[in-house]
Structure 1
Amino acid sequence: MTTAAVVMATLTVALMAVGANGGYHTNWDAPFLYACHQGEILRSLHRVHNNRKEDRRWKFSCGGAPGEASPQTCHRTDYENDWDDHMIFQCPSDNVIAGLQSYRSNSKEDLIVVCTLSKL
């Protein structure tokens, strides 16, 4: 097998692993619910914005809590923002975010986020 064939086969497998949505956990103009596995917390967020669609797509990364902490007792918050409004959210003491949920409104071109909190 030539080097080019090996590279092409590797690229094909990598793209299949990422999936048709480019590795994003959300789609354009769609609600989403993302939750980390039990015992994990949200470690990173990455978003890309599309001006034509006036929407965002998100990638999330989960992992273990810092130190010996172990998330327990998950619950959902109320809506953390309103349509066409900024969201400023700070976890209560000894809490971490373990998931996010969003509803989309095409007429308002916005989203509302509900956070899932885990008590450490």
Structure 2
Amino acid sequence: MISTKLTLLVLFSMLYWKITVQWKNDWDRPLNFQCSSRKSSIHQIVSYHDNKMEDRRFDFNCRHVPSVVGPVSCSLSGYVNDFDAPVLYSCPNGGYINGISSYHHNYYEDRRYRFRCCVPYSRHYHRNCSWTNWVNDWDSYFNYFVPSGYVIRSVHSIHDNFREDRRFQFEICQIVKH
């Protein structure tokens, strides 16, 4: 009885995961995602690593940033890392991450990343900022939700050449108007 319930739970979880996740990139292919509105930030990041492909697939969801009023300017950074090197990127001046772009190289089995930041024209600033722990272990799946009232300001990632994978952590902040 217990093994039947456990089997049904595992099957339901796998089916739910397959239905709800809509990968924004394929293995070894570019990733180009941005929220549909400039006044939205990425609030959920889902990622899965495959050891055969030595790559990650990503899915993102966005939500409105209620504290942002008035016009917003968004721009895409240049590439913030070399292959096999750390990522450390922060949005300035009350900005938040609204999109992510990357491409994969099979020789390095890694990705280079660019981030789209949106910054309100009217003066806003970050407060109550903190860094998450690592949201994933090597070669693993993760599903990170930004807490309500917060946005992702910064991304930190490290690469391991033996595992050919990355770990991620995020700086999350509240945004308030001056």
CA distance in 2, matches of 1:91, 1:64: 17
Alignment of 1:28 onto 2:27:
yes
Contact kept? 1:65, 1:71, Cα under 8 Å: no
Mapped to 2, the partners of 1:87 and 1:24 lie a distance apart of 22
Write out aligned runs for 1:30-69 (5 A): 30-38=29-37, 39-69=39-69
User: Deviation digits for residues 73-93 of structure 1, max 9, x if unmatched?
Assistant: 111111111111121222223
Partner of 1:88: 88
CA contact (8 A) 1:28 1:55 kept: yes
CA RMSD of aligned residues (A): 2.3
Deviation of 1:104 after TM superposition, in Å, equals: 1.2
Residues 13-38 of structure 1: CA distance to partner in whole angstroms, max 9, x if unpaired?
x98x948xx52221111011101012
Instruction: Structure 2: give runs of 5+ residues left out of the alignment.
Output: 1-11, 121-178
Check if 1:104 corresponds to 2:95.
no
**TM-score, length-normalised on structure 1?**
0.76
Q: CA deviation at 1:70?
A: 5.9
For 2:53, what is the secondary structure of its paired residue? coil
Q: Spell out, residue by residue over 1:81-108, the C-alpha distance to the aligned partner (whole angstroms, 9 max, x if none).
A: 1111121222223111111110111111
Name the stretch that deviates more: 54-63 or 37-46. 37-46
- Give the aligned length: 105
Structure 1: 5+ residue stretches without partners:
1-10
Using a 3 Å threshold, how does the CA distance of structure 1 residues 84 and 119 change in structure 2: closer, same or farther? Answer: same
CA contact (8 A) 2:28 2:103 kept: no
Report if the CA contact (8 A) 1:71-1:118 is conserved.
no
Matched letter for residue 44 of structure 2: S
Counterpart position of 2:158:
none
Counting strand residues as a fraction of each chain, which structure ranks higher? Answer: 2
SS of the aligned residue for 1:27 comes to coil
The alignment's TM-score, normalised by the length of structure 2, stands at: 0.53
